[in-house]
Structure 1
Amino acid sequence: MLNKKRSTLETKIEVSLAENKSVAESKLETGIGFFDHMLTLFSFHSDLYLEVKAKGDLEVDYHHTVEDVGIVLGQLIRELYLNKPSYQRYGFFYLPMDESLARVVLDLSGRPHLSFEAQFSKEKIGLFDVELIEEFFNAVAMNSRMTLHIDLLKSGNAHHEAEAIFKAFARSLKIALTDVEGGIPSSKGVIE
C-alpha cells in the first residue's frame, strides 16, 4: 500500500493506493459528493484500492480540493509504476455511457502531457463545475508524469459525459499497469 500526504494553507489531503482492490473497499471522503462518485468509479474500473481523506476550503469553491487530490493521486500512480519490474506502459479504452462516448489513451512514459478535448453539455453537474475535470486530470498527468489524451467523442448528459471519461481513464490505466515480461518497457532501458 502506497500512502502520501499533502498539506497547504488551502487543503489537507491523504491518499492511499494499492494495486489489488481486494485489499478492501475504497473509502472516499473529499466533501464533494459528485467527485467521490467519480473516484469510486475510477477505483472500481482500474482495480486499484483508493482511500482519500481531504479537507479543503470548500467555502471558496471545489477547485483546490479537486486539484490537490489529483496531485497526490498522480504522485502515487508514478510511484506505483516505477516500483514495478515491468508493465505494459500503454493503455487505451473507448467507453460508452449511454449516449456519451469517451476515448482515453495514455503512456506511463515519464513525460507529462495532457490533451483534453471535451465539450460538456452543461457547466455544472449539481454544484460541481465540469471545468474541474480537466484540472483534476492535468494534476494527475503532470504528477504521475504520464502522457494522457482524453477525448469526449459523443455527448448528451453531463453526468454521463464525466462518468465515461473517468471510467475510460480507469480502464486505460489498468491496461497500462498490467504486468508483462521483459523488464522496463522502453528501448532506452529506463523510464524516469
Structure 2
Amino acid sequence: MARRVKVERRTKETIVRVDVDLDGSELREIGVSTSVPFLDHMVETLAYYAGWGLRVEVEEVKRVDDHHVAEDLALALGEAIAKAVAAGGYRVARFGYAVVPMDEALVLVSVDYSGRPGAWVELPLRRESIGGLATENIPHFMQSLAAAAGMTLHVVTLRGENDHHVAEAAFKALGMALRQALAQSQGVVSTKGAILPPRS
C-alpha cells in the first residue's frame, strides 16, 4: 500500500500544502517552496535523507515573520507523516537514530515513532538567523514536527562551532533517523500490540 498523503493547512497567516510519499515509490521528486531560503534547504535535506518524495508550497496570507512559516509547515508535515503511517497500518520499525558529522559539527538524533509526542532539542545556535530563518525557529520546527507526527524526538549537539554546519547536520540526522523509524515492518512493533495516533 502506498504511503502517500496530501495535506493542506490554512490559517489567517499561511496556506501550507504538503504532498509526501514516505517510500518515494509514487512521488520521487523533492521540492520545497517557502519564503525562507534556509528553511527550503533544510526541509529538502530532511526529505532526501529520509528517502521521501516531497512537494511543499507555503503561501503567506499575512506577512509577519518566518515563525509562522516554519511552525505551520512543521505542523502540516507532521500531520502528513501521521496520516501516511496510519495508512500503512502503523507497521513501522518505530525506532531510528543517526549520528551525523558535518565538518567540525557532530549531532545525534534519536526517534521513537510511538504515538507519544515529545521533543528534547539541544541546538546551542549563536547566530540570530541563517538564510532568513531565525535560529530559534529551528528547534521549534523540530518540536512542532514531533508533536504533529506523534513521535518522541531527541536531538543533541555533541560538538560544533559553525551554526550552519550544526543545523544541517541536525536535519540530515533527523532524516536518517526517520528513514529507519518509518521503514515498513511486518507488524506493529510494540508489546502493547498498538501504536496510538497522536492526539489532535
Q: In which range does the TM-score fall when normalised by the shorter chain? A: over 0.9
Give, in angstroms, the shift of residue 171 of structure 1: 0.2
User: What do residues 124-182 of structure 1 show as CA deviations (whole Å, max 9, x unaligned)?
Assistant: 2133211101111111011011000011111111111110000000000000012222x
- The equivalent residue for 1:83 is 87
What is the one-letter code of the residue matched to 2:79? Q
> Take 1:83 and 1:128, find their aligned partners in 2: how far apart are those partners?
33
User: What do residues 58-100 of structure 1 show as CA deviations (whole Å, max 9, x unaligned)?
Assistant: 7421000100000010011111222224221000100001111
Range 166-175 or range 149-158, more displaced:
149-158
Q: Which runs of 4+ in 1 moved over 3 A?
A: none
> Take 1:2 and 1:78, find their aligned partners in 2: how far apart are those partners?
9
- The equivalent residue for 1:36 is 40
- The equivalent residue for 2:56 is 52
What is the one-letter code of the residue matched to 2:85? Y
SS of 1:21's equivalent? coil
Q: 1:73 aligns with which of 74, 77, 85?
A: 77
- The equivalent residue for 2:168 is 163
What is the one-letter code of the residue matched to 1:48? W
SS of 2:194's equivalent? coil
> Take 1:130 and 1:144, find their aligned partners in 2: how far apart are those partners?
22
Which stretches in structure 1 are left out of the alignment for 5+ residues?
none
- The equivalent residue for 1:18 is 21
8 Å contact 1:57–1:65 — kept in the other structure? no
Give, in angstroms, the shift of residue 57 of structure 1: 5.6
Q: How large is the Cα RMSD of the aligned pairs?
A: 1.4
Give % identity. 35
Pairing 1:86-101 to 2, within 5 Å after superposition: 86-101=91-106
- The equivalent residue for 1:63 is 67
Give, in angstroms, the shift of residue 55 of structure 1: 1.0
> Take 1:189 and 1:83, find their aligned partners in 2: how far apart are those partners?
17
8 Å contact 1:101–1:152 — kept in the other structure? yes
8 Å contact 1:58–1:65 — kept in the other structure? no
What is the one-letter code of the residue matched to 1:88? A
> Take 2:154 and 2:195, find their aligned partners in 1: how far apart are those partners?
19
What is the one-letter code of the residue matched to 2:12? L
8 Å contact 2:157–2:166 — kept in the other structure? yes
> Take 1:34 and 1:15, find their aligned partners in 2: how far apart are those partners?
18
When the two structures are aligned, how many residues end up with a matched partner? 191
User: What do residues 39-69 of structure 1 show as CA deviations (whole Å, max 9, x unaligned)?
Assistant: 1111110000111110126742100010000
Pairing 1:110-125 to 2, within 5 Å after superposition: 110-125=115-130
Distance 1:107 1:18, change over 3 A: same
8 Å contact 1:110–1:145 — kept in the other structure? yes
TM-score between both structures, scaled by the size of structure 1: 0.94
> Take 2:184 and 2:51, find their aligned partners in 1: how far apart are those partners?
13
What is the one-letter code of the residue matched to 2:155? I
TM-score between both structures, scaled by the size of structure 2: 0.91
Give, in angstroms, the shift of residue 20 of structure 1: 2.9
